[in-house]
Amino acid sequence: MRFMTMIRIDENAGPEGGPSPELMEEMGTLLEEMTKAGVLLDTAGLRPTAEGSRVHWSHGKESVTDGPFTETKEVIGGYALLQVRSKEEAVEWSRRFARIHGEDWELTLEVRQVEEPPGEGA
């Protein structure tokens, strides 16, 4: 079973200067553990919304809005794609990722199963 963990952040609420070297080291250790366990398929942080665009489709009409998206408090700041045996296992790996951020961060991790093509997956 594959699960996508979307890491939601408030771009304006993180610690000054971004992640600390200690956090980056702990994150590297956890990601290495996840890779060795065979559960981490892909992961990345995302560039700020100021560098992004949104394509909106509504009733046959398209619009494109360039960032930053000031009307949005939380944005997806990164993701992890996991291959695990259960939703509970995906949630536990996501909890471990959240905990290494300590008290300086406010994160919401949304864990959702990936819809497998017919005939694939468990």
The Cα 101–Cα 25 span in angstroms is 11
The DSSP call for residue 68 is: P
What is the overall mean pLDDT for the chain?
92
Between 94 and 122, the more confident residue is: 94
Average pLDDT for 56-81: 91
Q: Whole-structure pTM over 0.75, yes or no?
A: yes
The answer on pLDDT for 120 being more than 70 is no
User: 9 with 98: CB under 8 angstroms?
Assistant: no
Q: Compute the distance between CA of residue 35 and CA of residue 84 in angstroms, rounded to an integer.
A: 12
- The larger pLDDT score, comparing residue 81 to residue 117, is at 81
- Sorted by where each starts, the structural domains of the chain and their CATH numbers stand as 2-113 (3.30.70.1060)
